[in-house]
Amino acid sequence: MTKNPFQIGVPVTGPELADRQTELETIFKEVLAGSRLFLISPRRYGKTSLLLESRNRLQAQNIPVAYVDLYQATSLAHFLDLFGRAVLEAAEGAVEKALRMAGEFLRGVRPTMTVSARGLPEWSIGFSQQQPDLLKQRDQILALPQMLAEGRKIRLAIFMDEFQEIRALDGPALERAMRASFQHQPRVSYVFAGSKESLMWEMVQSRWSPFFRSGPTLSVGLIPPEEFKKYLSEKFLKSGMSVKPERLDEILAGSDNIPFNVQYLCHALWIVKNGEGNVSSEDIRSGIEYIFAAEREYYTALWDQLSLHQRRTVRALAKSGGAAPFTAAFLREHDLGPSASVARSLAQLLKREVLNKSETEYRFADPFFKAWILSTMP
């Protein structure tokens, strides 16, 4: 049996990445133009894979890229350490050089090198924990990319994943400091990527936001179905399986065409079919049952965390398809009470990221959770 060709839970690059040529070209061009690009994507749409593939393509053109995942940052000092190390390593190309340059370029820090439990070298810049000193070091770190790029006469790109998380670190002060520094860095390109759409759009559209209209935006949508089906068909064939076009339509429909969920269902199909044979409608149902079994504890815990009214609301949306949740007929049919109660439940479900909101309807962030509700809570 060959390896399961449908990877889940990890970013993918190269031939493993489905389509996204338009987005990749846009990122490449905006980086070359020196832009501050805001990349806005719902969860499970492959944002991180898109960033990492873009990094690979830029580095192949001798443009160093620093990648910073803000989900890792637990404090302002931790963020500055992550940001500074990523920038220094991208510009210098080696940890030892980056460590030395940190001591030369930054005042008041004590860079240290240690060995991890796995025997790998690890280093930190060593920021002060005193707030006045930390704020001075913040401004040094934010100015560092332009200093390094100017000194080496290069273009430097910085990708900041889950960018909206800066708001949890130091409030508006950090945003203002970043905007003030970044707008004076002609040799540095930035891509600010985030998956909490409402926060990201607020950052670029609110007049009160430091980043208001500070750069172009790129919204990541669904992969065109025909492109996705071509990609999936080739992957199945290379692994020794086959799937008819109508079955591919069923796979996309059952996954709401959301890239992560499509990959997950195909991953499950490959397992239930032992990596061989033709995919049938029954196999697709078996694949979804496999996912239910794998996610049962998570789905049960998520359901338990919802209030009774939130449960009734998501159950109603699962049955109705997500449209028109405030009509009198919808409220009466599903015993949801006044529309104000539904509005409160929907707000909490959006905050919990159980639901996403489009212009016309509410959609489940995880379509398999929707299917689980319909099968478990009929």
- Residue 128 sits in a domain of what CATH number? 3.40.50.300
pLDDT digits (tens, 9 = 90+) for 260-311: 999 999 999 999 999 999 999 999 999 999 999 999 999 999 999 999 999 9
Dig out the tokens for 289 from the structure. Answer: 């049952």
Asked if residue 370 is part of any domain, the answer here is yes
In this structure, the strands spanning 112-115 and 121-124 are antiparallel
Yes or no: say if 99 and 113 are a contact pair by the CB < 8 Å rule. yes
Yes or no: say if 36 and 185 are a contact pair by the CB < 8 Å rule. no
Helix 308-320 with 367-376: angle, nearest 10 deg: 100
Containing domain of residue 143, as a range? 20-219
- Same domain? For 215 and 359 the reply is no
Asked if residue 183 is part of any domain, the answer here is yes
Q: For the chain, give the number of residues.
A: 378
Query: Rounded to whole angstroms, how far apart are CA atoms 240 and 40?
Result: 36
- Same domain? For 334 and 187 the reply is no
- Same domain? For 189 and 49 the reply is yes
pLDDT digits (tens, 9 = 90+) for 110-149: 777 776 677 776 778 877 666 677 788 899 899 999 999 9
Asked if residue 68 is part of any domain, the answer here is yes
Per the listing, tokens 């280093």 go with 123
Asked if residue 319 is part of any domain, the answer here is yes
Dig out the tokens for 179 from the structure. Answer: 């905007």
Yes or no: say if 106 and 125 are a contact pair by the CB < 8 Å rule. yes
Looking at 197, 219, 241, which one is the last position of a domain? 219
CATH number at residue 338: 1.10.10.10
- Same domain? For 66 and 190 the reply is yes
- Same domain? For 201 and 55 the reply is yes
Asked if residue 82 is part of any domain, the answer here is yes
Q: How many CB atoms lie within 10 A of CB 238?
A: 11
- Same domain? For 310 and 199 the reply is no
What mean pLDDT value characterizes the chain? 90
Per the listing, tokens 């044979």 go with 277
Amino acid at 304: D
Q: What is the pLDDT of residue 136?
A: 82
Beta bridge partners of 122: 114
Nearest alpha carbon to residue 218 among 29, 354, 53: 29
Asked if residue 193 is part of any domain, the answer here is yes
For residue 173, the Cα-to-chain-centroid distance in whole angstroms is 24
Per the listing, tokens 């689980």 go with 372
Q: How far apart are the first and last CA of the chain?
A: 38
- Same domain? For 175 and 322 the reply is no
pLDDT digits (tens, 9 = 90+) for 167-215: 998 878 999 999 999 999 999 999 999 998 888 999 999 999 999 999 9
Q: What is the pLDDT of residue 289?
A: 97
Looking at 179, 204, 219, which one is the last position of a domain? 219
Query: Rounded to whole angstroms, how far apart are CA atoms 32 and 155?
Result: 8
Q: Is the pLDDT of residue 1 over 60?
A: no
Nearest-Å Rg of the Cα atoms of the chain is 23
- Same domain? For 320 and 210 the reply is no
Asked if residue 289 is part of any domain, the answer here is no
Our CA angle for 193, 200, 124, nearest 5°, is: 45
pLDDT digits (tens, 9 = 90+) for 162-180: 999 999 988 789 999 999 9
Q: Is the pLDDT of residue 43 over 80?
A: yes
Looking at 219, 234, 261, which one is the last position of a domain? 219
Per the structure, the count of domains in the chain is 2
Q: What is the DSSP letter of 215?
A: S
Q: What is the pLDDT of residue 129?
A: 66
Asked if residue 114 is part of any domain, the answer here is yes
The pTM of the full predicted model, rounded to 2 decimals, is 0.89
